[in-house]
């Protein structure tokens, strides 16, 4: 599932290829599973240009000072890319924004739960959604309050987009692994030192993925992502990677390396 770094890669693609071009039209292919702008919203976009982008947690935005904006959620599997017609349309293109000339913005999303909406302003929209601060923007004190104050498991707290936005299953597991904290530890069981370590490691995990533009093959070999398999050898301590459902999500962790309380 696209999390903060994967969404940032899509935002960068929009920024690099879809700004300052007039929107002329739209195309869609096999989009019955997606929520997309209706005819009125498409009319709102037509004739406008995107001049800036924004990302908050797992939401991507493109628009201009006076609007309108698109807000995009990539769901379980989506991404945004640009390409130039008349090259053959990639078969993964589900929704296409057609700009003047050959440029196209493609919203690829083969599974449910993805959407694109037309909105007036991303900052108002974020405030109304009650989303927490972006995981790369949140300060250490607020992180400590929000995660350390959670009576639920620390894993569930990291995934709660109202506490902080952008962390999903994959990078929550990675952050906990690096911090040596078991996924079932309660937020309130973490002392200030371990919360500070988790904050540092969450940022380091996300920054590491941002630095390689979410190309996982370029991540160092001692990352959990390369060993997310029950029974795999832990690259840090020689223990065994274990799989367990925590808060309704599948957690991978090393019980030897990650303390249970
Ligand atoms: Zn280990």
Q: What is the pLDDT of residue 85?
A: 85
Task: Give me the average pLDDT of each 10-residue run along the chain (261 residues).
Answer: 97 98 94 92 98 98 97 95 82 88 93 93 95 98 97 97 97 98 97 97 98 97 95 94 95 95 80
Q: What is the pLDDT of residue 136?
A: 98
Here the CATH number for the domain that contains residue 54 is 3.20.190.10
- For residues 19 and 125, membership in a common domain is answered with yes
Distance 182 CA to ligand 1 centre (A): 11
In a domain, 135, yes or no: no
Distance 231 CA to ligand 1 centre (A): 11
Q: What is the pLDDT of residue 31?
A: 83
- For residues 119 and 191, membership in a common domain is answered with no
DSSP string, the chain: ---HHHHHHHHHHHHHHSSS-BEEEEEESS-TTSB---HHHHHHHTT-B--EEEEETTEEEEE-TT--EEEEE-TTT-EEEEEETTSPPPTT--EEEEESTTEEEEEE--STT-EEEEES-HHHHHHHHT---BTTT--HHHHHHHHHT-SSBHHHHHH-TTTSBS--HHHHHHHHHHHTB-TTSBGGG--HHHHHHHHHHHHHHHHHHHHTTT-GGGS-TTSGGGG-STTPBPTTTS-B-EEEEETTEEEEE-TTTSB--
Distance 52 CA to ligand 1 centre (A): 43
- For residues 20 and 102, membership in a common domain is answered with yes
Residues spanned by the domain of 187: 140-253
- For residues 68 and 165, membership in a common domain is answered with no
């Amino acid at each position: 599932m696209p999390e903060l770094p994967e969404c940032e890669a899509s935002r960068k693609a929009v920024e690099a290829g879809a700004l300052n071009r007039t929107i002329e039209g739209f195309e869609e292919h096999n989009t019955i599973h997606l929520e997309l702008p209706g005819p009125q919203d498409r009319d709102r976009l037509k004739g406008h240009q995107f001049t800036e982008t924004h990302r908050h947690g797992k939401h991507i935005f493109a628009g201009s000072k006076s609007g309108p904006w698109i807000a995009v959620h990539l769901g379980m599997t989506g991404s945004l890319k640009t390409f130039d017609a008349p090259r053959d349309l990639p078969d993964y293109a589900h929704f296409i924004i057609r700009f003047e000339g050959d440029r196209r913005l493609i919203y690829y999303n083969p599974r449910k739960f993805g959407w694109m909406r037309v909105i007036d302003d991303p900052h108002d929209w974020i405030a109304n959604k009650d989303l927490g601060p972006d995981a790369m923007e949140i300060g250490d004190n607020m992180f400590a309050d929000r995660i350390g104050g959670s009576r639920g498991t620390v894993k569930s707290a990291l995934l709660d987009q109202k506490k902080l936005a952008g962390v999903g299953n994959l990078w929550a597991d990675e952050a906990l692994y690096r911090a040596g904290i078991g996924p079932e530890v309660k937020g309130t069981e973490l002392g200030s030192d371990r919360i500070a370590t988790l904050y540092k490691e969450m940022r380091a995990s996300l920054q590491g993925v941002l630095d390689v533009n979410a190309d996982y093959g370029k991540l160092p070999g001692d990352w959990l992502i390369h060993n997310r398999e029950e029974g795999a050898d832990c690259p840090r301590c020689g223990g065994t990677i274990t799989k367990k459902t925590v808060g309704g999500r599948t957690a991978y962790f090393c019980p030897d390396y990650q303390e249970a309380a």
